[in-house]
């Protein structure tokens, strides 16, 4: 192994913030630990048999195993255009998961020093991307109604000129909440007035188990690139995501994408086209996920209230995979060690803070555990909190 | 559609050189045109039934449809480590095709202005990547023995300090030739002496149909990242490529990769693990491809000689997919229009020139047409050359 300056990291990589907490989380992958730390969808709800059958049929034709064009297989783009309510297939480009959409957009549009506004708490995958292009990053607090548009307006009026605003509009990761309709309309209006682009990151849209769906920000302005993915509704390993947005932006991304990885998988895209395109089957399948996630979320929030009462605050999730819990006075990074000892894991809020701290918050995923396991997980969490409190008293 | 400065391309994208010729080639995708212009492997030689059967079995387990880690599924990394002769699985990282390996390496290691040396003629996908990180690019001529190491040594002695040298070592795209053993040894020695990293791009290694295999550059130095791919031996749509190299480099790439697209496809990687790992089947399967490509190459070179005699020069391909032909005195970009009119397509040499011109060269792929089609293609090419000559005389 050679260690020398020839292998020095680029500024791009050096600028990606590491995370001690994320490293620590690797230690929690023990089989005896009930993990509420994950960001995965429930494995047992992946429609494996349907995917397997479709893959067998699609894969038997060698043409479906060839290269495709950078924008993706046309039949899949058409199905996705319909799925996201886009009028024009030219506005849809398929990516290798929606994470790649984010990465390509950042690299196609941003130069070092350009201002990007993200959520606080932030989807860490977005933060890493904007760090890798060495953007200047500011972070807007997420309120109960989504991103704080009043503060954004103040920044804009004070002369800040973001190129891009990235936000997760539905069932925020990690904050759990969705942007209200008025937040969405105001964001769209500000984008028009001040000439920035909104990246509306929306992987969880279909996972609403209660309340009314809200039109995407993209419904209110053309200055929006809407990101979506098959990962949370079909399967992550298909690695099919997409962006839908202004043709000028799509063309720039297409140009970069040839160098990035030539193209996506014809095979996977044909499988996704068939499954998303079978609307009757898909509606039923997503209905099952919704119902299951809804039961799990209800079990988690009920036991959280029953166990911790006034010592926790959180918004009741209406969909998605996450519950963002505040435990005033508790250092959740310190709590994690006790939690792992008690056999439960979560992600401490500090992992998601940009300008804010979130040191007393934690992200709990309810997607991958049964209601019974969630109840047991919270019981163990209470043991951990008690242990942390004893430790604090003994100092 | 909004056209304004908010959608201005980044320096990265603006620096990727477009190609009028590549745009022109889109016009050649007519069904009546015999295309020797492609870079695809033969569709009918893709083992679709075996892939379909494997995909059906692998996909039936929902766990194989979940996310994986950024470096890839361990069982596939192990098979690939064995396949490339690497001692250590920690030195292997799976990518979304080997193009992504190239992109991630460039972005993880290079800053704007860093010197990168590429081949001339160049694999265009590599040039685009190094342009996108705004590297300073110099290009070394490809000789009959591979890259011109004598000229490289002169550059190094004159004080040039490349960070990376990228070269296609076997059956060069587009130049057809392979680096000799002495070229490989000298490149490795210079890397050690001057402290640069070699990216040895080797997607065609298995496709040798005549002559003796030569050890990779990576056998002579640790300062090499060896790239490979399942695209040319199994199927492009699996989108499984890899890099094998110094652990320090692998770790930097892994860090960038999380933001780039999180991870590859568990599903595809498990399919590749099974097919590459079934050594008996794989050897037989690749044997069929070799034999078929060998017949096609022989048919092409024979008819080229018979048709054009002394008016063309080329090296007899020993493997791979391409024959690089020089037609002294012929402007091959001008020839393309006549060729398409006559029902045949190729890529003019100018598409691959960095510092050199290659205006009298053309790249012919023999991979996707039958011997009979190749004979007919060259007959049409002769018609096109005659038409070009008449045009020249009439001016």
What are B258-267's pLDDT values in tens digits? 899 999 999 9
CB contact under 8 A, A48 and B61: yes
Note the pLDDT of residue B22. Answer: 64
pLDDT (average), residues B76-104:
95
Q: Name chain A contacts of B198, Cβ cutoff 8 Å.
A: none
What are B281-320's pLDDT values in tens digits? 999 999 999 999 999 999 999 999 999 999 999 999 999 9
Q: Name chain B contacts of A15, Cβ cutoff 8 Å.
A: none
The interface residues of chain B toward chain A in range 173-212, judged by CB-CB distance below 8 A, are 195-197
- CA A6 from centre of chain: 35
Interface contact A229, partner B, CB < 8 A:
no
Q: Where are the beta strands (DSSP E) in chain B?
A: 34-35, 92-95, 115-120, 136-143, 146-147, 164-168, 197-201, 224-229, 241-244, 313-314, 322-326, 344-345, 347-348, 361-365
Note the pLDDT of residue A27. Answer: 66
Nearest Cα of chain A lies from the Cα of B211 at a distance, in angstroms, of 29
CA distances, A293 to each of A47, A207, A216, A300 (Å): 15, 8, 22, 10
Higher pLDDT, B30 or A278: A278
pLDDT (average), residues B133-144:
97
Q: Name chain A contacts of B55, Cβ cutoff 8 Å.
A: 52, 55-56, 59, 267
Note the pLDDT of residue B393. Answer: 79
CB contact under 8 A, A236 and B65: yes
DSSP state of B180: -
CB contact under 8 A, B62 and A48: yes
Task: Assess: ipTM above 0.85.
Answer: yes
CB contact under 8 A, A13 and B265: no
The interface residues of chain B toward chain A in range 97-156, judged by CB-CB distance below 8 A, are 97, 99-100, 103, 107-111, 125, 128-129, 131-133
Q: Which of A96, A246, A258 lies at the smallest CB-CB distance from B96?
A: A96
Q: Which of B64, B128, B223 lies at the smallest CB-CB distance from A237?
A: B64
Note the pLDDT of residue A46. Answer: 98
Phi, psi torsion values for A41, nearest 5 degrees: -75, 165
Interface contact B238, partner A, CB < 8 A:
yes
Q: What is the CB neighbour count within 10 angstroms for residue B111?
A: 15
* Cα distance from N-terminal residue to C-terminal residue, chain A: 45
- Give exposure, A271-304, as e/b (b: 16+ Cβ within 10 Å): bbbbbbbeeeebeebbeebbebbbebbbbbbebb
- Per-residue confidence band for B4, with pLDDT thresholds at 50, 70 and 90: low
Q: Which of A49, A65, A259 lies at the smallest CB-CB distance from B125?
A: A259
What HEC string does chain A produce? CCCCHHHCCCHHHHCCCCCHHHHHHHCCCCCCCEECCCCCCCHHHCCHHHHHHHHHHHHCCHHHHCCCCCCCCHHHHHHHHHHCCCCCHHHEEEECHHHHHHHHHHHHHCCCCCEEEEEECCCHHHHHHHHHCCCEEEEEEEECCEECHHHHHHHHHCCCCCCEEEEECCCCCCCCCCCCHHHHHHHHHHHHHHCCEEEEECCCHHHECCCCCCCCHHHCCCCEEEEEECCCCCCHHHCCEEEECCHHHHHHHHHHHHHHHCCCCHHHHHHHHHHHHCHHHHHHHHHHHHHHHHHHHHHHHHHHHHHHHHHCEECCCCECCEEEEECCCCCHHHHHHHHHHHCEECEEHHHHCCCCCCCCEEEEECCCCCHHHHHHHHHHHHHHHHHHHHHHHHC
Phi, psi torsion values for A177, nearest 5 degrees: -85, 165
Interface contact A359, partner B, CB < 8 A:
no
Q: Name chain A contacts of B268, Cβ cutoff 8 Å.
A: 237, 265, 267-268
| Average pLDDT taken over every residue of chain B | 94
Q: What is the CB neighbour count within 10 angstroms for residue B31?
A: 4
Higher pLDDT, B20 or A46: A46
Note the pLDDT of residue B294. Answer: 98
What are A2-36's pLDDT values in tens digits? 446 778 899 998 888 776 666 666 766 788 999 99
The pLDDT tens digits along chain A (395 residues) read 344 677 889 999 888 877 666 666 676 678 899 999 988 999 999 999 999 999 999 999 999 999 999 999 999 999 999 999 987 999 999 999 999 999 999 999 999 999 999 999 999 999 999 999 999 999 999 999 999 999 999 999 999 999 999 999 999 999 999 999 999 999 999 999 999 999 999 999 999 999 999 999 999 999 999 999 999 999 999 999 999 999 999 999 999 998 999 999 999 999 999 999 999 999 999 999 999 999 999 999 999 999 999 999 999 999 999 999 999 999 999 999 999 999 999 999 999 999 999 999 999 999 999 999 999 999 999 999 999 999 877 76
């Amino acid at each position: 192994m050679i260690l020398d300056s020839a292998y020095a990291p680029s500024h791009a990589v050096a600028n990606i913030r590491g995370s001690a907490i994320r490293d620590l989380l690797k230690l929690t992958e023990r089989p005896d630990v009930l993990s509420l730390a994950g960001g995965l969808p429930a494995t047992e709800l992946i429609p494996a048999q349907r995917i397997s059958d479709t893959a067998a049929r699609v894969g038997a034709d060698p043409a479906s195993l060839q290269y495709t064009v950078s924008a993706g297989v046309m039949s899949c783009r058409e199905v996705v255009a319909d799925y996201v309510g886009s009028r024009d297939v030219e506005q849809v480009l398929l990516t290798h998961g929606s994470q790649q959409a984010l990465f390509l957009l950042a690299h196609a549009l941003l130069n070092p020093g350009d201002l990007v506004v993200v959520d606080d708490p932030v989807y860490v995958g977005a933060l890493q991307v904007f760090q890798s292009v060495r953007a200047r990053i500011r972070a807007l607090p997420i309120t109960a109604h989504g991103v704080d548009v009043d503060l954004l307006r103040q920044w804009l009026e004070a002369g800040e000129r973001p190129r891009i605003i990235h936000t997760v509009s539905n069932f925020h990761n990690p904050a759990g909440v969705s942007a209200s309709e008025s937040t969405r309309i105001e964001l769209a209006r500000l984008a028009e007035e001040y000439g920035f682009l909104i990246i509306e990151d929306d992987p969880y849209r279909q996972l609403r188990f209660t309340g009314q769906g809200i039109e995407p920000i993209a419904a209110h302005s053309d200055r929006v690139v809407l990101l979506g993915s098959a990962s949370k509704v079909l399967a992550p390993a298909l690695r099919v995501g997409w962006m839908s947005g202004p043709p000028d932006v799509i063309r720039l991304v297409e140009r970069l994408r040839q160098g990035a990885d030539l193209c996506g998988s014809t095979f996977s895209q044909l499988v996704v086209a068939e499954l998303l395109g079978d609307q009757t089957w898909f509606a039923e399948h997503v209905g099952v996920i919704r119902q299951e996630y809804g039961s799990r979320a209800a079990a988690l929030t009920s036991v959280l209230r029953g166990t911790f009462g006034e010592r926790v605050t959180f918004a009741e999730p209406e969909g998605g995979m996450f519950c963002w819990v505040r435990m005033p006075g508790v250092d959740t990074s310190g709590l994690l060690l006790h939690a792992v000892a008690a056999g439960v894991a979560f992600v401490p809020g500090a992992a998601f803070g940009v300008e804010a701290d979130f040191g007393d918050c934690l992200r709990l995923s309810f997607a991958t555990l049964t209601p019974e396991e969630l109840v047991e997980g919270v019981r163990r969490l209470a043991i951990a909190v008690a242990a942390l409190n004893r430790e604090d008293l003994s100092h």
